[in-house]
Amino acid sequence: MKMHMGMRKARSMACEFVMDGHPDKVCDQIADAILDAALAGDPRSRVAMEVTGGHGLVVVIGEMTTGTRFDIGHIVRQTYAHIGHDHPLGVCVNVVVQSPHIAQGVDRGGAGDQGIMVGYAVNDGPNGMPRSWTTARALCTRMRDLRTQKILPYLRPDGKSQITMIGDHVTQVTLAAHHSEEVDLARVRADLLTHVVRPIVPDIHEDAVVVNGTGTFVLGGFDADSGTTGRKLMVDNYGPNSEVGGGCYSGKDPSKVDRSAAYFCRLIAKSIVANGLAPEALVKVAFAIGRETPTLISVETDLAEAHAMKLEQKVRETFDFRPEAMIERLGLLHPTGWCYRDTAAAGHYGDDRFPWEQVVAI
C-alpha cells in the first residue's frame, strides 16, 4: 500500500521525551521489573501488570501465572531507588492468576489479546528513528548522564524535554530539569545550555531555550506527582508524527501481541529501510485473541503501487507472524544482554541491544 508521506514528514513538528525518573516512566519500569523477575524464574510466565503510584504509595494490580516466587513490594522499592529517587514508599499489591479463558487460547499458540500493532522506520536519523524523536531523547539521556556521572550532581531523576522543528532545523528546546534546592534557576539554565543543549543542538539561539518555565523544579517523582503504566505511548514508540498501535507495552509478557507483534513489525520496518527498499516503512498487523494468524498484514511505503504490493507479498512470505514464532525469533522469553525494564526506561526502539533492532534480509 502506498503511504501518504505528508502524515509523518510534516514541515513543522514537535516531539517530547521524558526521563526515567518521570512518574509515568517509573510505573512502566516497575511493571517491567516485575515481568523480568517472573521470566527469570519461569520463562513461561504469563504477566499483565498495571502500576499506579504517587505521593508515597504504589498500587500494583494485575494478573500473573508463574512457577516462581518473589516479593513484588521489594521489586517496587528497589526499582524506585535504582532510578535515583529516595522517598519512602508504601506498596499495595492485588495480583491474581491469569483468566483461564485467556490462557486456553494462548496455550494453543494463539494471541494473548486482540489488537493492532505497528512498526515504523525512516531514513531521517540514526537507527531508522525520526530525527525529532532521537533529538528529544538525546536531551533527556544527556541530563541523566550528567546526574549519574556526577558532572552536575544537583540534578535529580525526574525531567522532560520537548523540541520544535521546522524541516530538519530545531527552532525551540524546552527542558524540565528536576534539581536539588540549593541551586537557583540561573545556574541550572547556564549549566544545561552548556552541557545539554549545545552538544546536541549547537546552532540554536539561547532565547529559543526554555529551562524550568515555572522557575524551579525541586519536588519530583512520586513526591510531587502521580503516574500510571502506559501513559507515554509517544515516548515509547516513534513520537507524535507516526501512527502507533493501540496498546502499551510495559508489564506485559510476550504472549501479549501488543508487545511481541509491535517489536516484530519494527524489525521488519527497520529492515525495509536499512536495506534500501524504501525511505520510510509502516508495518501493521492485527490479531484476534486466541488465534495464530493475523487478521491483517499491511506494509505501507511511498513506493509505486505495483512495487508496494510486491514488497508486502515478500514480507508475508519471509516472516512468520504466528505469536510463538515471533517470540522465538526475537528471544523474548530469554532476554540476553537486555531486560524489559531497559525498554521501559528510555524508549522501546532505537537501542541496538534489543533484538528487534537488528537488520535482516528481505
pLDDT at 102: 60
186: amino acid identity, one letter: A
pLDDT in tens, 170-220: 999 999 999 999 999 999 999 999 999 999 999 999 999 999 999 999 999
CATH architecture of 115-126+243-357: 2-Layer Sandwich (3.30)
The three-state (H, E, C) secondary structure of 230-243, written as one string: CCCHHHHCCCCCCC
The rounded distance, in Å, linking the Cα atoms of 184 and 124 is 38
Domain with CATH 3.30.300.10 in the chain: 5-19+132-221, 23-105, 115-126+243-357
pLDDT at 289: 84
pLDDT at 6: 42
pLDDT at 246: 78
Task: Please give the CATH topology (third level) of the domain spanning 23-105.
Answer: GMP Synthetase; Chain A, domain 3 (3.30.300)
104, 73 contact by CB (below 8 A): no
pLDDT in tens, 284-338: 999 988 888 899 999 999 999 899 999 999 999 999 999 999 999 999 999 999 9
| Terminal C-alpha separation, the chain | 17
pLDDT at 104: 58
Residue listed under C-alpha cell 508504601 = 90
Which residues in the chain come in under a pLDDT of 70?
Answer: 1-10, 100-110, 112
175, 161 contact by CB (below 8 A): yes
Grid cell digits, residue 146: 550528567
pLDDT at 324: 95
**Closest Cα partner for 67 from 30, 49, 41, 85?**
41
pLDDT at 290: 80
The rounded distance, in Å, linking the Cα atoms of 102 and 351 is 32
pTM of the predicted model, to two decimals? 0.94
How far, CA to CA in Å, does 140 sit from each of 92, 152, 236? 30, 14, 14
Is the C-alpha dihedral spanning 152, 24, 86, 62 positive or negative? Answer: negative
CATH number of 5-19+132-221: 3.30.300.10
Strand partners, 227: 53
